[in-house]
Amino acid sequence: MAKHDLTSPPHHRIGFISTRFAGHDGVSLESAKWAEVLWEDRHTSFWYAGLMDRDPGVSWCVPEAHFAHSENEWINQRIWGRTHRSRLVTQRIHALAAYLKTTLYEFVERFGIEILIPQNVLTIPMHLPLGVALTEFLAETQIPTIAHHHDFYWERDRFAINAVTDFLDMAFPHRGQNIRHVVINQQAQEQLSLRKGVSSTLVPNVFEFEKDPPPPDDYCKDFKTAIGLEDDDLLILQPTRIVPRKGIENAIRLVGRLNNPKCKLVITHEAGDEGMEYQHLLEELAREEGVGLRIISDRITDVRQTDQEGRKTYTLWDAYAHADLVTYLSTYEGFGNALLEAFYFRVPVVINRYSIFIQDIEPKGFLLPMMDGFVTTKLLDQIQRLLDDQDFRQKTVHSNYHLARQYYGYAPLRRNLQTLIGSLPGLH
């Protein structure tokens, strides 16, 4: 008789659910990391979303599930920023939720899903009908579920005044015996318990620190000149979108006060869907401060390629490989992926002490120049030393790398996922 390996857990077919799995948003990135770690434990991942860049062979794309779908936008216009909704709005919410629920049944049946991992669907109501649909589906099927929460609705001002408190109470998040809840920071864990009476597991965002970053190669050796810099310029990298909470005005002031015309501030991403007013303000501030500013979102793509003008494009990793310093002066972050990326590529990073950093990350002992809302002479001296003293720089970035590997690598994520899956009811 063949012996069974009792130490090896059974492998499962796992369904990830979101409004979008595409691009470099936090949900898309973290879900891909989870799937990679789950695959190493022989679990197979499948994907359900309204916008998708995953393998079509393991995906179920339902356009109505995307937060930008016209029906969902129609609903959103009538439920946020007001305290009363019409009967028609309620009917349309229920109608779209009913349709989406049928697609969830089809997704689970088509791929033989045994475990669901909703990614922010039961957390932030950018697509209220999808949250309602999933809540009803989970109540009807009792399928084992790990709900991964990135941003709760009470953390966003735009959802504070609304006409859907009944739906928010029901579905954001859904509470059931078949669900295990995961949050990405301690503040969210406390608020979820306080507001909803729900216990959760804290699983921070991660990066694969167990694998060394690729060294710069011939393709990207011209990166600095391609974006309009000289070879001896110091590249100060702002690897984020241009949105007010990123505090980029302080990055401009910081570079200006370094008083070195060779220091150039490079922003990798565009303004996105929050308008261009903040970008225009930053461009004007850079002129006033005499700071060389480059916004290179048209040269940064998911993969290296040639654009319509015949120019080479580069990845975000190429930008990190040439960076002398990373600025990450956000006023608020749910966690801070760019911080982990800077640690991974061994680039010194200057940080503003946002609340999640203070509570969750700072106690780990990372070596960082830190700002408390404004640029000081002491901060500038710390940054100058990192730019000038190569031995000090190397000791700093190597210390940060090894600390990040200990706390935010794939190994702790794997242990957390094994524990969560082992705790789910109803698995055979």
DSSP secondary structure letters along 100-147:
HHHHHHHHHHHHT--EEEEBSTTTSGGGHHHHHHHHHHHHHH---EEE
Question: Of the candidates 239, 262, 261, which has an alpha carbon nearest to the alpha carbon of residue 251?
Answer: 239
User: CA separation (Å) from 115 to 11, 35, 291?
Assistant: 11, 13, 51
Share of the chain above pLDDT 70, in %: 97
Average pLDDT over residues 385-391: 96
Strands (E), 296-364: 325-328, 349-352
pLDDT at 8: 57
∠ CA(420), CA(424), CA(428), 5° rounding?
Answer: 120
What phi and psi, each to the nearest 5 degrees, are found at residue 26? Answer: -60, -40
User: CA separation (Å) from 405 to 25, 141, 322, 345?
Assistant: 22, 38, 22, 12
- DSSP type of residue 302: S
pLDDT at 4: 39
Average pLDDT over residues 38-65: 96
- Amino acid at site 221: K
Rounded CA-CA distance 100/55 in Å is 21
pLDDT at 26: 84
Rounded CA-CA distance 196/284 in Å is 45
The yes-or-no verdict on residue 198 having pLDDT over 70 is yes
Residue pair 142/169 in contact (Cβ under 8 Å)? The answer is: no
The yes-or-no verdict on residue 27 having pLDDT over 70 is yes
What phi and psi, each to the nearest 5 degrees, are found at residue 56? Answer: -60, -25
Tokens of 353: 């002490």
Question: Residue 3: which pLDDT band, with cuts at 50, 70 and 90?
Answer: very low
Q: Tokens 């909704």 map to which residue?
A: 85
Residue pair 266/240 in contact (Cβ under 8 Å)? The answer is: no
Is residue 239 classed as helix, strand or coil in its secondary structure?
A: coil
Q: At what angle do helices 70-79 and 87-111 cross, to 10 degrees?
A: 140
Question: Residue 292: which pLDDT band, with cuts at 50, 70 and 90?
Answer: very high
Question: Of the candidates 360, 356, 355, 357, which has an alpha carbon nearest to the alpha carbon of residue 368?
Answer: 357
What phi and psi, each to the nearest 5 degrees, are found at residue 63? Answer: -55, -35
Rounded CA-CA distance 121/18 in Å is 6
Question: Residue 334: which pLDDT band, with cuts at 50, 70 and 90?
Answer: confident
Omega of the bond prior to 173 within 30 degrees of 0, cis? yes
Exposure b/e, 59-72, CB count within 10 A at least 16 = b: bbbbebbbbebeeb
User: CA separation (Å) from 157 to 80, 81, 153, 291, 314?
Assistant: 10, 10, 8, 33, 35
Rounded CA-CA distance 228/315 in Å is 17
Q: Which residue has the higher pLDDT, 340 or 273?
A: 340
- Amino acid at site 2: A
pLDDT at 216: 85
Residue pair 123/30 in contact (Cβ under 8 Å)? The answer is: no
pLDDT at 123: 97
3-class DSSP string for 4-50: CCCCCCCCCEEEEECCEECCCCHHHHHHHHHHHHHHHCCCEEEEEEC
Question: Residue 5: which pLDDT band, with cuts at 50, 70 and 90?
Answer: very low
The yes-or-no verdict on residue 295 having pLDDT over 80 is yes
pLDDT at 264: 97
Rounded mean pLDDT of the chain? 94
Strands 234-238 and 115-118 turn out to be unpaired
The yes-or-no verdict on residue 2 having pLDDT over 50 is no
- pLDDT tens readout for residues 45-54: 999 999 999 9
> Which residues 6+ apart lie within 8 Å of 287 measured at CB?
none
Q: Which helix (H) or strand (E) holds 140?
A: helix 128-141
Q: Which residue has the higher pLDDT, 307 or 131?
A: 131
The yes-or-no verdict on residue 6 having pLDDT over 60 is no
Go through the domains of the chain in sequence order and give each one's CATH number.
13-206+411-423 (3.40.50.2000), 223-407 (3.40.50.2000)
Rounded CA-CA distance 361/239 in Å is 19
Share of the chain above pLDDT 90, in %: 89
- pLDDT tens readout for residues 122-174: 999 999 999 999 999 999 999 999 999 999 999 988 999 999 999 999 999 99
Min mean pLDDT across 15-19, 81-85, 300-304 is at 300-304
Is residue 405 classed as helix, strand or coil in its secondary structure?
A: helix
pLDDT at 276: 87
Average pLDDT over residues 239-268: 95
pLDDT at 274: 64
